[in-house]
Amino acid sequence: MSESGVKAIATNRKAGRDFQLEDRFEAGLVLTGTEIKSIRAGRVNLSDGYVQPRGDELWLINVHIAPYDPAGRHSHDAHRPRKLLLHRRELDRLLSRIRERGYTIVPLRLYLRDGWAKVEIALARGKRKYDKRQTIAERDAQRDIERALKERTDR
């Protein structure tokens, strides 16, 4: 990442393939001490994670932050729900949109910004199988075009 003070920890590569991503937001996380130490060590998996509303709050569910080994038995639960911190306007907007049929919120990446753990989330719609095929076909076509242009300039 080229932004100053930002260190990428984990990305959810499946999200772009399985979902049509619309609006993106940056959210803070409520973490314990051992969780932030595991995050700084890069021991995070976002691939099965999602965001769920509970009341008027959003919670990050099913994101694996590995237990911090030096903490021993005092470490955290790896899959516990974690509260997301957003501005009230953003929160209200997201809550109203996910009440619409077909919308969900997925975590895209987890990173450290000036020492604070942040998660980038996106409002998303699930892709149908034919949408996935179309995306793959477009990517292949673009690759063929770039390859042809490269061969042409090499001559």
Which domains can be identified in the chain, with CATH numbers?
6-127 (2.40.280.10)
CA distance 28 to 93: 17
Strand-pair category, 6-11 with 103-113: antiparallel
Q: 1: pLDDT confidence band, cut at 50, 70 and 90?
A: very low
The predicted model gives 103-130 an average pLDDT of 89
- Evaluate whether 108 touches 121 at the Cβ level (below 8 Å): yes
Distance between alpha carbon 124 and the CA centroid of its chain, in Å? 11
Output the pTM of the full model: 0.76
| pLDDT tens digits along 30-79 | 998 888 999 998 889 998 889 999 989 999 999 999 888 787 777 777 78
Q: Is 108 helix (H, G, I), strand (E, B) or coil?
A: strand
Q: Buried b vs exposed e over 127-144: b needs ≥16 C-beta within 10 Å?
A: beeeeeeeeeeeeeeeee
